[in-house]
Structure 1
């Protein structure tokens, strides 16, 4: 901060000493000038390195983690489908470094402003007229703020296109869709779509940055006019003998560094202001999480007595007009095994998402014994839910961990993890892995890649980690397994459902499109176009000769034909 003023003063004293023919004073002044210059360069380099390292480390480890923690506090999945939230998350994903760098830049702005003040004070010793440069220096700051607001608005407006191009890029570069893209020859088309989305996003941001650059140019033009006028005043004073040659050297030295000092001050202020602009999405996210987080705090019962009851439940996904569920009323008795069947799109998985509080009904109520599900703390309720979903996660971590996260309290309990593996009939899979439970999954991490059926067994094992659930959900749990494995798994999980019923009165909900596997359920719900068409036991529904009987017959006929073929 003080090295430049010291340098200017030392140079002035050096020149005046030389004109006085005082070599000793000139040598001292030159030495001070050299040391000041070297110290300034060293401190500048050190500051840049340390601030960059700290900003990058904290920005990555703290701010991104904070954003992830805020998103994890959202109670349901519907929040993650809102474009206004996703737009801000997109901005934050690319702004963690700027957010963390802004406080350092605020400190730098104060230091640079003090240095600028010292430089202007030195200029004032030559002539007070040079202080008018302060007014001209304010112009770039004002103009730059206008440009920053334009850039931020463009980043928010184009965030959706950036998400789209990133999604298309991932589709084209990840192994999951590689087979279909190559067989269909759709790769070039996908690349063109990705490029188009990228061009739209970049075009919007480019126009905003051009406007910001024009604002910045206007500001610096104003400053340049004032700066040139100041230099003319200095030349005039020197020509008239109103200042010494040392004063002229001091003024020129300050004038040369003044531009950099003002630019660095304005840059630090600009980054600070830019950080403040970037803070807006973070503050919005915090406010959104606080405003939308459930205030419910009731705890679920330790054991189900009556069961779970749906009363006139309806639900429509955001952004659609067709109801996924419409006026569904049904009782799921405590300790029962309830199967939900129906054609694709009939509302089976939606019903499961409502039971697990991933969504809330648009109307109607869901009761757990005599408690409204909406009054239960989502965290407390989900702590009593075990589930294997149709779109199960493929977590590329150690195999034991990808099972253990089904209940974090037992993550490091290898005995519990192995018990869950046994429940999913997956011990053979573990035995074949090179490092057993410690085997890293995912080829992109130099690990083992599982087949679709093996991933599904892993998801089933994960769902078996909790030993005291009140709701046990199996959403298409065997869709990726062969028929013998499917039959064996269902027998094991029906037995597990009886154990949970005895222990906690748990309701087990099995969603399946294969009717033959759910015949042993206590109650079967048949959904059709979001409505409850029929319910009863397998025998009762066959005897009723309704929709269930028709669908069951179609599947049985198809299976017989496949066996004969």
Structure 2
């Protein structure tokens, strides 16, 4: 509860800073509603008593006050729906959503993107910021409603103290509703994985790219079955939780209604005995109607607030995780301006969370400054994982990585990444951007530098793509955004161009850079990037790391590293490894024979 209150206070502060006028207006509306509703009952009592006493002016004045108060309450309720539940929630929700996305994007590591507990909560948190803000404002309104309820009971108590029991009985539906929300919250999280799976399968079934394979293999029925099974698992769990919660809420309301009827009976008996004035009778009737509506409104508002509570625990968990990750940053040293020794992998080992076996084990090697290093091996041998460690997406489980003798952990991550550049195997696609923007992202500081983007496009041999685009480099990369789609090979060339934006990296990594390209394009790309590697090496001692399963393309590297099942089994030049007759020689021979067999 303390964490919730701190979060409500924080959101209220955000509302005040970013929507001060709206915030003031909402509080003014709430005060006016409380005063108006109580004023209606008091004015009606005064009007009736005035008529009974023969004081017509007083009765007319009270009636006018009641009419004005009724009109004001109606108007304020209309305004509250527009201002409180739409404008302020939209504005402040957008602020929180932007902050959350910026915090997630600023995380140094990507381990969380492969953690089910993180993804489960992220699934629940989709659109959560606006719902949390809405819940906070519903809580504010519930506080004013409870104030109105307390004043109503105080006035009723002045006629019959027995009605004060209703304040205690009102706790029953509130407690039961809170218990029901906890049941629903638990179900939301426990079924999030199944819900995410069914949504993914639905996207696969309706995706144009996957659709070709599904239709050719006639697997549509099976995909639909899997999607339906996952949807059923998610729905059954959530439906069962909602049924149990509904029974709890019904029990709470039963307790309150029974007490409410008993108290009304007492008031009716006192009125019949003549111990109350006619005005008191009208007051009791008016407040009784308002009391029922007020309690129902209070419970509804608290229910809406607690519905937002479904998102509070995942939201607070995520914030705590983000804070933990930020506090774990320890590096504050700058990277060297120029590499003189190189990058040392000192008995590096790494295991993914929950994995039975390590992906890398006891990798010990020096990547010399100014060299072109080829990293080869079969699929699953740990090549891409090593690239992620060098990018600081993960920390080694064992050993360390040093840059000219300085532990990479001690180097400030953001500065290190400014001195690295990479084209990853699972490269990003940015369909909402233009081609120039998708390339310029490689160096965000020069995103709008037309000359720099043009040079990067030339480096990746991607001029042909630009010439074929209807609006050149200004073409958006998706038909959904008024542009055109790219082929897999064209997307890969875009990624290569993006990796070429930085002109002074200390480490330039190409992870399977030509996997989607044809042989002529692959040959042209490697010629260009070997030339680029030599230029970078002469400029600042940069290391170019090329990861490839096509051994013929990396034969010109200064150093070839061979990984097998996460271990470094061979290292040397192409000629040295071929002469040694080991695993590299065996793999090279297998690929050469396969290529000869494929030739016409």
Q: TM-score, normalised by structure 1?
A: 0.95
- 1:326-405 matches, within 5 Å, as 326-396=361-431, 397-405=433-441
Matched, 1:81 2:114: yes
The residue that corresponds to 2:252 in the other structure is 219
For 2:559, the equivalent position in structure 1 comes to: 523
Query: Residue 502 in 1 paired to residue 535 in 2?
Result: no
1:5 matches 2:38? yes
The aligned residue for residue 95 of structure 1 is 128
CA contact (8 A) 2:578 2:585 kept: yes
Indicate how the Cα distance of structure 1 residues 497 and 479 shifts in structure 2: closer, same or farther if over 3 A, else same.
Answer: same
The equivalent of 1:44 in structure 2 is: 77
Match of 1:441 among 453, 462, 477: 477
Are residue 550 (structure 1) and residue 580 (structure 2) matched?
no
The runs of 5 or more residues in structure 2 that have no matched partner are 1-33
Q: Which residue number in structure 2 is paired with residue 256 of structure 1?
A: 289
Aligned mates of 1:276, 1:542 — CA distance in 2? 64
Displacement, 1:4?
1.8
Work out the CA distance in 2 between the residues paired with 1:214 and 1:119: 29
Residue of structure 1 equivalent to 2:209: 176
The equivalent of 1:537 in structure 2 is 573
Shift of 1:517: 0.9
Shift of the alpha carbon at 1:69? 2.3
Deviates more, 1:383-392 or 1:536-545: 536-545
Question: 1:10-409 to 2 correspondence within 5 Å?
Answer: 10-19=43-52, 25-54=58-87, 56-58=89-91, 60-275=93-308, 278-292=311-325, 293-396=328-431, 397-409=433-445
Is the 1:70–1:285 Cα contact (8 Å) retained in structure 2? no
Q: Is the 8 A contact 1:141 1:266 kept in 2?
A: yes
Q: Deviations over 1:213-269 (max 9, x none)?
A: 222222211111121112111211221111123321221111011011122223333
* 3-state DSSP of counterpart to 1:535: strand
Please report the RMSD computed on the Cα atoms of aligned residues, expressed in angstroms: 1.9
Counterpart CA distance in 2 for 1:419 and 1:412 is 13
Distance 2:93 2:454 in 1: 35
Secondary structure of 1:10's aligned partner: helix
Shift of 1:70: 2.6
- Residue 370 of structure 1 and its aligned partner are, at CA, apart by 0.7
The match for 2:11 is none
Aligned to 1:429: 465
Distance in 1 of aligned mates of 2:418 and 2:485: 30
Equivalent-residue separation in structure 2 for 1:296 and 1:140 (angstroms): 53
Structure 1 residue 169: Cα displacement: 1.8
Superposed displacement of residue 416, structure 1: 0.8
Contact 2:344 2:405 in 1 (8 A): no
Q: Which moved more, 1:185-194 or 1:445-454?
A: 185-194
Find the residue that maps to 2:458 and give its secondary structure: helix
- Secondary structure of 2:562's aligned partner: strand
Instruction: Indicate if the aligned counterparts of 1:470 and 1:507 stay in contact, CA closer than 8 A.
Output: yes
Residues 189, 24 of structure 1: CA spacing in aligned structure 2 closer, same or farther, 3 A cutoff? farther
SS in 1 for 2:85: helix
Cα deviation, 1:28-47, whole Å, max 9, x if unaligned, reads: 44433333222212211210
Q: CA deviation at 1:67?
A: 2.5
Distance 1:336 1:168 in 2: 45
Q: Is the 8 A contact 1:237 1:243 kept in 2?
A: yes
Give the direction of change, closer, same or farther, for the CA distance of 1:56–1:161 in structure 2 (3 Å limit): farther
Q: Tell whether the 8 Å contact from 1:73 to 1:289 is kept in structure 2 after alignment.
A: no
CA contact (8 A) 1:116 1:261 kept: yes
Does the aligned pair in 2 maintain the 1:60–1:97 contact within 8 Å?
yes
How far, CA to CA, are the matches of 2:232 and 2:482 in structure 1?
34
Runs of at least 4 residues of structure 1 off by over 6 A?
A: none
State which drifts further: 485-494 or 112-121. Answer: 112-121
